[in-house]
């Protein structure tokens, strides 16, 4: 009953979204959603890279955390900034 969405249902949902949010706000919402997805993707990639680096380091040596820069949207130079990683202060 609710499992199949056809073209008329999808069009109706899109019309309701346009009526609720307005046509002026939709490009800004899509742009911010794209930025969020890009940041999420870069953070997930950085976490994978950090996970591979920590497994290769010897147990007795600690390396200082590297500073990364989160890239903004192309042409948006005001929002890219260096990010310092939180350090783990708990000792095991």
Q: What per-residue confidence (pLDDT) applies to 39?
A: 94
Q: Among residues 69, 45, 65, which one has the least CA distance to residue 54? A: 65
Q: What per-residue confidence (pLDDT) applies to 49?
A: 85
Confidence (pTM): 0.40
Give yes or no for a contact between 44 and 37, defined as CB atoms under 8 angstroms apart: no
Q: In the chain, what's the furthest Cα-to-Cα distance?
A: 62
Radius of gyration of the chain (CA): 21
Helix or strand run (H / E) with residue 68: strand 68-70
Q: What per-residue confidence (pLDDT) applies to 90?
A: 73
Q: What is the pLDDT along the chain (92 residues), one digit of tens a residue?
A: 567 888 899 999 988 988 888 888 888 888 999 999 999 999 999 988 887 765 555 555 666 666 666 666 666 655 555 556 667 677 65
């Amino acid at each position: 009953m609710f499992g199949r969405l056809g073209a008329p249902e999808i069009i109706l949902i899109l019309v309701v979204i346009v009526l609720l949010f307005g046509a002026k706000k939709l490009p800004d919402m899509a742009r911010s959603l794209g930025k969020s997805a890009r940041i999420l993707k870069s953070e997930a990639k950085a976490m994978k890279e950090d996970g591979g680096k920590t497994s290769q380091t010897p147990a007795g040596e600690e390396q200082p955390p590297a500073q990364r820069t989160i890239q903004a949207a192309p042409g948006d130079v005001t929002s890219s900034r260096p990010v310092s990683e939180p350090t783990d202060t708990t000792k095991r």
